[in-house]
């Protein structure tokens, strides 16, 4: 997926501020942060969106959620609270077609989102 920004971040062809990495997952600061804590967590495998999650690849999603808890603790928002969001498709405003989970925290977050 040579034209995918997040695949290029995984390959280190585009720099990012990495907060966690293992064999299957990468987490890094969003370039345009919407909150004091705004991390993106992605599977290294190119999965276009939540619509492409299935029985064959869903193990990495469970792993991502365990990593999210660890990152929330490391960045000091585990107890104060945080939000996990994945935008899927155009009505949700998905702008990068590589599955990613936003972790937002460090301030009071409004609900519902716009």
**Residue with smaller CB distance to ligand 5GP, 56 or 75:** 75
Could you tell me the smallest distance in angstroms from the CB atom of residue 35 to ligand 5GP? 11
Q: Which does 32 bind (CB under 5 to 8 A by kind): Zn ion, ligand 5GP, none?
A: ligand 5GP
Peptide bond just before 33 cis, omega within 30 deg: no
The CA radius of gyration of the chain, in Å to the nearest whole number, is 14
Residues with a known catalytic role = 100
> By the criterion CB under 6 A, which residues form the site for ligand 5GP?
5, 14, 16, 28-32, 40, 87, 93-96
Determine the 3-state secondary structure of 102 from DSSP.
Answer: strand
Q: Which does 28 bind (CB under 5 to 8 A by kind): ligand 5GP, Zn ion, none?
A: ligand 5GP
Could you tell me the smallest distance in angstroms from the CB atom of residue 77 to Zn ion? 27
Query: What is the Cα 11 distance to its own chain's centre?
Result: 16
Cβ(99)–Cβ(86) under 8 Å?
yes
Closest CA to 113 of 89, 78, 86: 86
Q: Which does 31 bind (CB under 5 to 8 A by kind): Zn ion, ligand 5GP, none?
A: ligand 5GP
């Amino acid at each position: 997926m040579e034209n995918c920004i997040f695949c290029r971040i995984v390959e280190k062809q585009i720099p990012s501020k990495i907060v966690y990495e293992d064999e299957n997952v990468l987490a890094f600061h969003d370039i345009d942060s919407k909150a004091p804590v705004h991390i993106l967590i992605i599977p290294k495998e190119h999965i276009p969106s939540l619509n492409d999650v299935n029985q064959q690849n869903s193990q990495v999603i469970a792993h991502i959620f365990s990593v999210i808890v660890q990152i929330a603790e490391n960045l000091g928002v585990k107890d104060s609270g945080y939000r996990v969001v994945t935008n899927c498709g155009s009505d949700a405003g998905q702008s990068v077609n590589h599955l990613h989970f936003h972790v937002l925290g460090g301030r009071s977050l409004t609900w519902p989102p716009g």
